[in-house]
Amino acid sequence: MPETIALIGGTGRLGPGLALRLSRAGRAVVIGSRDAGRAGERAAEIGARVAAAGGGGSVRGAANDEAAAASDLAILTIPYEAQTELLPGLAAPLRGKVVVSTTVPVRFHPELGPVAVAVPEGSAAEQAAALLAGSRIVAAFHTVSSAHLSRLDRDLDEDVLVCGDDQAATREVGELAGLIPGVRVVNAGRLGNAHALEQLTVLLLSINRLSHRTAGVHLTGL
């Protein structure tokens, strides 16, 4: 299992929650950002929370390229619209590494709410695979609420669906997700299925918007 996890664009919504949970589980976490100072501030906040909860792994901040270079595995927690600009510059430091796409191609309409964005490659994960051709891309963590991740006093009680063409990489990401208390990992097949997973997340965002909840996904019958 990878020791050092980079969260690329990790100062947004999902990144800090994953940093909190993975650090609590004993992993070394590097929060990446375009602004290394902001990443450092977020890392200090998360490190203090982990220490107050009894300790865990280390947390530090860095620029995205430095975080990518320092990692054994990287998780992309960036907006879809940032991918084509940001990822080509990270191809070298991420070459050969497992890279997890959490990105959802979505825009928020003032009246309609969350609306899926069409991706020429089929999904944001497949676009990431094209932009990071030397990396091993796995799609995961899309449906997990950042609000749930940020509460160390509760287990998640939900499924994490994982898609990938590289079976060893998919298994590695599943083991990493399994470090989070209350998570059940579900293998959702090939990377091409990430399109359905990303669409499911848009549907879940719509449900949560209408119900004023932060529901996750739990599959029955497994």
CA distance 186 to 177: 10
Phi, psi torsion values for 28, nearest 5 degrees: -85, 125
In one letter, which amino acid is 84? T
For residue 9, what pLDDT is reported? 97
pLDDT of 1 over the 70 cut: no
Mean pLDDT of 190-214: 95
Return the number of other C-beta atoms located less than 10 Å from residue 197's C-beta.
24
For residue 71, what is the enclosing H or E element? none
For the cut 80, the answer to whether the pLDDT of residue 22 exceeds it is yes
* 66 has pLDDT over 90: yes
Q: Global pTM? A: 0.96
Which residue, chain included where needed, has tokens 């090939």? 190
Q: What is the pLDDT of residues 87-102, one digit of tens each?
A: 999 999 999 999 999 9
Predicted confidence (pLDDT) at residue 2 exceeds the cutoff of 80: no
Average pLDDT over residues 12-24: 95
CA separation for the pair 139, 64 (Å, rounded)? 19
User: 30-58 in b/e burial notation, b at 16+ Cβ within 10 A?
Assistant: bbbbeebeebbebbeebbebbeeeeebbe
Quote the pLDDT of residue 55.
87
CATH superfamily membership of 4-211: NAD(P)-binding Rossmann-like Domain (3.40.50.720)
Domains of the chain by residue range: 4-211
- Which one-letter amino acid corresponds to residue 129? A
The confidence band for 103, taking pLDDT boundaries of 50, 70 and 90, is very high
pLDDT tier for residue 111 given thresholds of 50, 70 and 90 = confident
